[in-house]
Amino acid sequence: MSNKKKETKRKKLEEWEKQYRLDHPVYNLNHSYPSFAFGAVSAFLGAIMIAPFQMSQTIVTRYAFFCFVIGYAIDWYCKKEWSKAYDKYKKLEDL
């Protein structure tokens, strides 16, 4: 395959990824980090939000764990959907 064709395909993939990021804003939050990082950030923020209510440490810990699980699941799902869309695009474009 010539360098020109490779360059064209690479540009098409870059353009597709830019458009995907515009169409799916949640993907922008997690495209370059592992899923546990998104879960950890949501757990930290969730614990800070509930702390002013001065609940017991057990409740805050459980709430933070709940936020971690939800954040991780959302991040994992977004990456899974991106992977499906990427594979589908590659099949349609024969890249």
Closest CA to 24 of 69, 60, 67, 78: 78
Q: Where are the domains of the chain?
A: 34-95
Is pTM, for the whole model, over 0.85? no
Pairwise pLDDT comparison (4 vs 33), residue with the higher score = 4
| 49 close to 66: Cβ distance less than 8 angstroms | no
Query: What is the average pLDDT value for the chain, to the nearest integer?
Result: 78
b/e string for 41-69 if b means 16 or more Cβ within 10 A?
A: bbbeebbeebeeeeeeeeebeebbeebbe
pLDDT in tens, 56-76: 777 778 888 888 888 888 888
Residue of 35, 19, 1, 28 whose CA lies nearest to 86? 19
Task: Give the pLDDT confidence score for residue 16 in this predicted structure.
Answer: 84
